[in-house]
Structure 1
């Protein structure tokens, strides 16, 4: 029997990047996946390419009515909810001084409130099934920040704190809650950032340079993140909860202060 056969999985931000990789990973292992994103074309493409184990939902993770309806669709189509993977997220640049209030709100609403709302409606359905697993995509920037990413870093640090709180609250319900904290992962969002910051170089060379900032010497693959997410959602990880796990190519193992040769 496939690892996730009979399981119902909800993936926010599931049409692109790490979310798409997670949706593919669960579907390929027999799971029934609900792909949530706010762009119909990307949802339709993802569902068509993932195949019969995928169902699409076009909605906004910031809106309670949308998340309630999405969970309701998972229940109607797949019988309930066993696993929630929260991948929806955006990156915006700026200090607290030059970040506009509406930009701050967008980052916090999508990156953090989206998890709150998805979990709010998914957890009662998990309880009906005797338990479940929630995995949220955080970031290495929940531990250490770059300059000029105030809203993004704040949102990711808050995700780790929320994960710990939910893990405590819902351990009696047999629901595990964990965060995955990637460094640079080759996704459309990272390529957008590379194009934004390429200067006189190219986006591809900028990605390569960012990769060399990781001791392993490259940026990560979305499929590698999906493998870790799948492990945390599996029966093999039932004693892991409230954790935030780095998948960073060794990036946070390295001090920026280098000893002279």
Structure 2
């Protein structure tokens, strides 16, 4: 797919680290110019330096804030003459049930994980339409389909993101805008490492991550580039008949039942 995205412009929220960075790297590798977005300027600068300043830039902001997202879209369109791709990867994953989680934490999670995708769509769809169409990829999660315990806000946000993906795909198909979601399993990112650090139970962080990897039939946790490859495919012309879909990158996790038969 060398040069697949030559002349294309992509916005990647949460693009400084993890799956967002892996997605941005895959797009840059195939010729895109990317504009990364997030709240941590130091991390954004480091990401741009790795990707290469000729192909990457950044805007600092909060994906929950309308004016910040509008500034992102305006900056990308002005710098590059338009926008062709949007990857919504910004996310947080706090722990808590509906009983134990505070209202502020619930609102923060739904704001980053779900409202952020609404806001990027709200401002970016007109820019995509000007280019004759484009692609939006929402980074959801296997936990939008099935879930563990104690992550009520996260799973609500990711389930909502899958529903929003279908709505956007239908609403904007006639604009030539394809909208799809990717559902990763356990991916070795700062978010996953944070989750591991919160669930040590006498183990090291690496031991926790390894145990989560063993739950996947492939036998390991994924890497950001595993998800980035799927994102790049969905943004490419090779996926021209794909819209409104949910694509698992989960090492077979959701194909597996909990029942284990003897060898």
Cross-structure match for 2:205 = 203
Cross-structure match for 1:182 = 184
Q: C-alpha distance in 2, partners of 1:10/1:135?
A: 10
**Superposed displacement of residue 192, structure 1:** 1.0
Partner of residue 216 from structure 1, selected from 202, 208, 218? 218
Cross-structure match for 1:117 = 119
- Equivalences for 1:3-152 in 2 at 5 Å? 3-51=4-52, 52-152=54-154
**Superposed displacement of residue 48, structure 1:** 1.4
Query: Unmatched 5+ residue regions in structure 1?
Result: none
Q: C-alpha distance in 2, partners of 1:136/1:190?
A: 18
**Superposed displacement of residue 257, structure 1:** 2.8
Q: C-alpha distance in 1, partners of 2:146/2:238?
A: 30
Cross-structure match for 2:239 = 237
Q: C-alpha distance in 2, partners of 1:111/1:16?
A: 15
**Superposed displacement of residue 139, structure 1:** 0.3
Q: C-alpha distance in 1, partners of 2:31/2:232?
A: 12
Q: C-alpha distance in 2, partners of 1:23/1:145?
A: 27
CA displacement, residues 6-43 of structure 1 (integer Å, 9 cap, x when unaligned)? 00000000000000111111112111100001111001
What TM-score, normalized to structure 2?
A: 0.97
**Superposed displacement of residue 260, structure 1:** 5.6
CA displacement, residues 206-242 of structure 1 (integer Å, 9 cap, x when unaligned)? 1011000000000001001000000000011010000
- Match of 1:55, SS? strand
CA displacement, residues 158-183 of structure 1 (integer Å, 9 cap, x when unaligned)? 00000000000000000000000001
Cross-structure match for 1:160 = 162
**Superposed displacement of residue 187, structure 1:** 0.4
Q: C-alpha distance in 1, partners of 2:98/2:14?
A: 26
- Match of 2:67, SS? helix
**Superposed displacement of residue 60, structure 1:** 0.5
Q: C-alpha distance in 2, partners of 1:153/1:75?
A: 33
Query: Unmatched 5+ residue regions in structure 2?
Result: none
The 10-residue stretch of structure 1 (249-258 or 114-123) with the greater mean CA deviation from structure 2? 249-258
